[in-house]
Amino acid sequence: MDNPTYVGLTRQSGLMREMQVVANNIANMATTGYRREGVIFAEHVAATGPDAASLSMGNAVGRSISPVQGAISATGGQFDIAIEGEGFFLVETPEGEALTRAGNFIRNEVGELVTVNGHRLLDAGGAPVFVPATAQSVALSGDGTLSADGQPLTRIGTWGAVDPTELSRRSGTLFLAPSGVEPIDGARFVHGALEASNVNPVAEIARMIEVQRAYELGQSFLDAEDGRVRDFLRTVGARA
Amino acid sequence: MRALDIAATGMSAQQMRVEVISNNLANMSTTGYSPRRADFSDLHYQQVTRAGTIGAADGTVVPAGVQIGLGVRPAAVTVNFAQGALTATGGDLDIAIEGRGYLEVTMPAGNPAYTRDGSLYRTGDGLIVTSDGHEVAPGITIPDDARQITINGDGEVYAGFLDRVEPELLGRITLVGFANDQGLEAVGSNLFVETAASGAPFTADPGTDGLGTLRQGHVEASSVDAVREITELIEAQRGYELNAKVITAADQMLGAATQVR
């Protein structure tokens, strides 16, 4: 095959990958605390020879995690917490400390707050959050102070990755930060509310149509290239 | 082509959401019913290019990498244990729990179950039971000649008699609390049973240990908010359609690919 076909192919496989990302975003449009994912294409320049022009190919090399605030909807749940602003909750997972925006916590059988997947929530000091089973009313103030029956229990903090570019996703709307986490300030907590997924369905569908049409365009390009090669072979073959 | 599978997980998630909503709406008038909510979580990620991979001989590290999510899965169906409205019925054995806690009942097999449905009845022998006939702990029997039953906020059950001035204390209805109400297993008929996740039950008098008080002559209405459920239903329906659109688009892309020679 010839270079034009290869260039077309990199574009096609990148678009296929982007389609998967769009499909995943739409599938997670109702996932609490989900962060929209984007694909970044970069030019991959290949030198074709010492004097020839170089060739540029499109390649999906990276991804972006959308930091846009999701809609906060009131649920009235006793342990539903939404973060307004930047930062994440810190939770303890078998893979180490992880970050999440999903604030739909549940009190487990010993009274600790855990995520729906059973990972323990950690407070501003990095300790598990304990709410006694006999507490009648639980309140959380905007700065994260958790109190039961008027007695302060602990303070929940917001955390961020030391190196935000390294955030990698894990199942359960979790993010892992390989080089560690640090407390960050400036966010507010909303008690009895949850942050919805920050996927904008209209934008995703628009992106999906764009990807689909670009893919079809790429296919007709490959088609034309195929026709060109065939014409060439037919012409050359006839002369020979 | 994984986009098809990914969108299929999205469709089944939205379908489950509709199922949860329809069960909530069906129980709009069920005494003591608390609405459920489907919570979702993203599925596994496929690491196409791992973040932190060294991309060049000079040690340049790929900062973000490429991860492709594989869809969505239901993580939990949580119960929103908000207080339902108290409806006055005037029945002397109708008791509503104001606050947290459950009535303990004894199932036919002898194991305990827990309920917030306080529309109680008495058997031919005078035993206080639920509408399904399960005995309410601690098993209080009302004498035949009792003229009036009074249950106070602390759970004490008094019987008044025609021939006596002082009412007689028959016993005290206790309440049961759990560390994790969400961990209870619903077994239908407004009943819950203990699981490993709920923690051990603790029994206390109403009004102590963070548990609620009783209110005679009332029942707790279902706390389903119809408006919220309907808006959720619309969201779920549109979400389902959006995922179906992705399947169509992915199918057309595959169709375009097969048309190339």
The pLDDT of residue A27 is 92
From chain A, the residues in CB contact with B183 under 8 A are: 106, 108-109
B184 and chain A: CB distance < 8 Å anywhere? no
Contact B9 A170 (CB under 8 A): no
Which chain A residue shows the shortest CA-CA distance from B53?
A166
Sequence-ordered strand ranges (E) for B43-94: 45-49, 66-69, 72-79, 86-88
Contact B243 A27 (CB under 8 A): yes
Contact B64 A109 (CB under 8 A): no
The band of B213, judged by pLDDT with boundaries at 50, 70 and 90, is very high
Contact B69 A28 (CB under 8 A): yes
pLDDT tens-digit map of B87-129: 899 888 999 999 889 999 999 998 999 999 989 998 888 899 9
Picking from B43, B99, B181, the nearest residue to A136 by CB comes out as B99
Contact B71 A23 (CB under 8 A): yes
Which chain B residue shows the shortest CA-CA distance from A80?
B80
Contact B68 A20 (CB under 8 A): yes
pLDDT tens-digit map of B221-253: 998 999 999 999 999 999 999 999 999 999 998
Say how far apart CA B218 and CA B212 lie, in whole Å. Answer: 14
The band of B52, judged by pLDDT with boundaries at 50, 70 and 90, is low
The band of B82, judged by pLDDT with boundaries at 50, 70 and 90, is confident
**Angle, in degrees to the nearest 10, between helices A3-27 and B226-259:** 160
Contact A204 B250 (CB under 8 A): no
**Distance separating the N- and C-terminal Cα atoms of chain B:** 19
Q: How far is CA A102 from CA A121, A183, B75, B89, B195, in A?
A: 11, 17, 12, 41, 25
B261 has pLDDT over 70: no
pTM across the whole model: 0.82
From chain B, the residues in CB contact with A226 under 8 A are: 260-261
Best mutation target among A1, A18, A31, A104 (most B Cβ atoms within 10 Å) is A31
B134 has pLDDT over 70: yes
B27 vs B51 pLDDT, higher one: B27
Which chain B residues in 116-145 lie under 8 Å from chain A, judged by CB atoms?
none
Chain A closest-CA separation from residue B46 CA (Å): 10
From chain B, the residues in CB contact with A60 under 8 A are: 48, 66
Chain A closest-CA separation from residue B42 CA (Å): 5
The pLDDT of residue A240 is 62
The pLDDT of residue B43 is 87
The band of B218, judged by pLDDT with boundaries at 50, 70 and 90, is very high
* Residue keyed to tokens 């306080």: B118
From chain B, the residues in CB contact with A208 under 8 A are: 245-246, 249
Picking from B47, B100, B198, the nearest residue to A109 by CB comes out as B198
The pLDDT of residue B62 is 67
Strands of A168-170's sheet in order across: A106-107, A113-114, A120-122, A89-93, A96-100, A174-176, A168-170
SS (H, E, C) chain A: CCHHHHHHHHHHHHHHHHHHHHHHHHHCCCCCCCCCEEEEEEEEEECCCCCCCCEEEEEEEEEEECCCCCCEEECCCCCEEEEECCCEEEEEECCEEEEECCCECEECCCCEEECCCCCEEECCCCCECECCCCCCCEEECCCCEEEECCEEEEECCEEEECCHHHCEEECCCEEECCCCEEEECCCEEEECEEECCCCCHHHHHHHHHHHHHHHHHHHHHHHHHHHHHHHHHHHHHHHC
From chain A, the residues in CB contact with B243 under 8 A are: 26-27
Chain A closest-CA separation from residue B91 CA (Å): 28
The pLDDT of residue A105 is 92
B185 and chain A: CB distance < 8 Å anywhere? no
Chain A closest-CA separation from residue B207 CA (Å): 10
From chain A, the residues in CB contact with B65 under 8 A are: 62-63, 168
Contact B260 A226 (CB under 8 A): yes
The pLDDT of residue A179 is 84
The pLDDT of residue A28 is 92
The band of B192, judged by pLDDT with boundaries at 50, 70 and 90, is very high
Which chain B residue shows the shortest CA-CA distance from A104?
B39
pLDDT tens-digit map of B53-67: 776 667 776 666 778
**ipTM reported for the complex, 2 dp:** 0.76
B7 has pLDDT over 60: yes
Residue of B186, B230, B190 lying closest to B18 (CA atoms) = B230
pLDDT < 50 stretches in chain A: none
Contact A208 B1 (CB under 8 A): no
